[in-house]
Structure 1
Amino acid sequence: MQLTINTTQNVKIYFNQAPLSSRIVASLIDLCCLIIYCIGVFIFWNSLDLSSYFSDDLTIYSIILILLLPAVFYSLLTENLFNGSSLGKKIMKLRVIKLDGYHATFADYLTRWIFRSIDVMIGSGVIGLLSVIFSDKGQRLGDLVAGTAVISTKSNVNLESTIYQELDDNYSVTYHQVLKLSDNDIRLIKEVMNDFKKSRNHKLLSTLVTKIEKTLGVKSKNSSHLQFVDIVIKDYNYLSQQKA
């Protein structure tokens, strides 16, 4: 199912909505990670016999609780660290994004984490599951409040929809700052360019160029907006292929 997002510049961007099955598998992977971590903490504690170093139970329980805090904040920490993906989401190629097309912020991840207790903990996840099923954009309660959604980052197989471009080995890079962008950013840029070629909406193109310049911290060195965007895409392709 495709998810359509209208940006603040009234540009339509299309994402693949995360399948429910993929989200369930991602959640199970995350649960396994949490279980492994908690078991690891108790093995570490018992193997070093740390209880013998403390005289009262309150101190022991407090220290164990501190060691388990990463598990409590797991989704908040991983989504903030991996740009909207927990370990499970990363494996299943899922990501949290804002409904305005921009990257989610720490505040958004925090909101999702706070509402996780209602979505996932209460009723063994039934509330979150029903919310995802009946929401138009597949959002659980935390997503609805944060204004986020979970998308699939899996690429379509046809070459036109990918970021790949064939370039000569002696290609000269103009904007090295393009590595601040991600594969998904380049894919979105290509989608906006495809929309421009159909509509010839120059305001749309100008807005795209302004956004790219602001993100990269550069000013266009090219004679036209079209040439600038084309070179940005080529530069990213060349540099990312060199890194691979």
Structure 2
Amino acid sequence: MPNLQIRTTQNVLLNYSLAGIGERILAFLIDGFILFLYALLIDQVAKLVGWISEDGWTQWGFSSLLFLPAACYSLLMHSLFNGQTIGKMILKIRVVRRDGDPVTWSNYLVRWLLRILDIWLFFGAIGLLAIIFSDTLQRVGDAAAGTVVVNNKRKVKVSHTILEEVAEDYTPVFTNVTILTDRDVRLIKETYHVARRTNDHKTLRALRERVETILESQSDLYDKPYLDTVLKDYSYYTGS
């Protein structure tokens, strides 16, 4: 399954697994079945109104009013439930912004309007072709809205990012760690954890000396506690 890296507003890189075509089609069919059941309900209500009033305009107007939520189903559900419809909830997929910002109502509106092109014209062929030939599996509506559909089954933990878990009452030691860039911290974290697993003390010492040079500070801490503290301090200042 293709993966996608998204940078959040806190400059944290999150790894998402993109939702596949099969998952998206199945979610669409589930939503369609729900709308079909709703249409049957509207039909029964319309018949009831017909028994009460024989005026055709009254029956048509009442039925149209009841059908309005169904027509806007996708837009309403995505807006109210953080990028998910009932079908997407069941399949555990959702819509997110490609740039990591929160999805806005206007993004959902663009996706919804372009369903006419993606889904309803040519029996969904345009949307399917757009997804197939897109590196990020975006249909036309997604590309225009700047959104992607991701798999929500695998939770992304802090340990999967450049940040470290820190307690709420944590007290930072090195106040100047913010001069490090995200690239620096990612490299430090990856090298640190590999060296720890392999007990590579030489690499730990070289990494520690390099970090001390960048931060222009000295510490009495041993290599492992020093590097661990630097990572936690960075997480404290940039992730809070």
TM-score, normalising length: structure 2: 0.65
SS of equivalent residue, structure 2 residue 138: coil
SS of equivalent residue, structure 1 residue 102: coil
Distance 1:157 1:103, change over 3 A: closer
Q: Percent identity between the aligned chains? A: 36
**Residues matched between the structures, number:** 185
SS of equivalent residue, structure 1 residue 75: helix
Cα distance in 2 between the residues matched to 1:145 and 1:66: 30
1:3 equivalenced with 2:12 (yes/no)? no
Cα distance in 1 between the residues matched to 2:61 and 2:53: 11
SS of equivalent residue, structure 1 residue 3: strand
Cα distance in 2 between the residues matched to 1:27 and 1:198: 40
Distance 1:160 1:57, change over 3 A: same
TM-superposed CA distance for 1:75, in Å, is 0.4
Structure 1 or 2, whichever has the larger Rg, is 2
Distance 1:196 1:88, change over 3 A: farther
Give the structure 1 partner of residue 20 of structure 2. Answer: 19
Cα distance in 2 between the residues matched to 1:116 and 1:13: 28
TM-superposed CA distance for 1:88, in Å, is 0.5
Distance 1:159 1:224, change over 3 A: closer
SS of equivalent residue, structure 2 residue 137: coil
Give the structure 1 partner of residue 78 of structure 2. Answer: 79
Q: Is residue 15–residue 156 contact of structure 2 (8 Å, CA) maintained in 1?
A: no
Give the structure 2 partner of residue 31 of structure 1. Answer: 32
Cα distance in 2 between the residues matched to 1:72 and 1:195: 49
TM-superposed CA distance for 1:45, in Å, is 3.4
Deviation string 1:35-75 (CA, Å, 9 cap, x unpaired) is: 011112222333xx211333421221111011011110010
5 Å matches for 1:39-50? Answer: 39-46=40-47, 49-50=48-49
TM-superposed CA distance for 1:160, in Å, is 5.8
Q: Which amino acid aligns with 2:121?
A: I
TM-superposed CA distance for 1:6, in Å, is 4.7
Q: Which amino acid aligns with 2:235?
A: L
Deviation string 1:87-139 (CA, Å, 9 cap, x unpaired) is: 11111111101111122111100110000111111111111111111111101
Q: Which amino acid aligns with 1:22?
A: E
Cα distance in 2 between the residues matched to 1:75 and 1:27: 10
Cα distance in 2 between the residues matched to 1:88 and 1:196: 41
Q: Which amino acid aligns with 2:3?
A: Q
Q: Which amino acid aligns with 1:14?
A: N
- Alpha-carbon RMSD: 3.6
Give the structure 2 partner of residue 212 of structure 1. Answer: none
Give the structure 2 partner of residue 120 of structure 1. Answer: 119
Q: Is residue 155–residue 161 contact of structure 1 (8 Å, CA) maintained in 2?
A: no
SS of equivalent residue, structure 2 residue 114: helix
Q: Is residue 6–residue 13 contact of structure 1 (8 Å, CA) maintained in 2?
A: yes
